Amino acid sequence: MGAGAGASEIDQQNAYKLGEMIAQQGWVLLTGGRNVGVMDAASKGAKAANGLTIGILPTDDSSNVSDAVDIAIVTDMGNARNNINVLSSNVIIACGMGAGTASEIALAIKANKKVILLNDSEESKIFFSSLSRDNIFIAHLPEEVIKIVKGILSDR
């Protein structure tokens, strides 16, 4: 999860790398599916490593779908689809921050899912850790994220 059109260069680079590493693990990548920002970069990284990519689209407008999405789930329910993103994922990775991403992290905590914050702001790390000590993990590099995910999955 991460910003759309306004995503930073570093967040998009991290997202691409993460997508690649997720695919290399044989995991399925699920994103918000649009052809911008973190979701597009992550999907492209996963496809570069022959992964399977799912996109949960907010609108019924095919011109907004990332080319790197294999399976487009069309919700036509706007940002309410953020709850589906979260409930359908085993682990949530937030790559950077924005209002949509913040809603996903909050919904993930509500659903008792684990969330990894990669390259997040200090304000965000402090706030979400205050909301849930147990569900929030902090990472600085994509490699760290993968290691944390493995730990979470092996605990289930």
Helices within the chain (DSSP H only): 9-24, 37-48, 82-87, 99-110, 122-131, 142-155
* Contact letters for a copy of itself, residues 32-71 (x by CB under 8 A): --------------------x-x-x---x----------x
Among candidate residues 93, 102, 135, 96, the one with its CA nearest the CA of residue 119: 96
Write down the residue that tokens 């990894």 correspond to. Answer: 116
78 lies in the site for a copy of itself, by CB under 8 A: yes
Stretch that binds a copy of itself, among 6-14, 18-26, 42-50, 93-101 (CB under 8 A): 93-101
Neighbours of 69 (CB within 10 A): 26
Residues in contact with a copy of itself by the rule CB under 8 A? 28, 52, 54, 56, 60, 71-84, 87-88, 97-100, 102-103, 106-107, 109-111, 121, 123-124, 126-128, 130-132
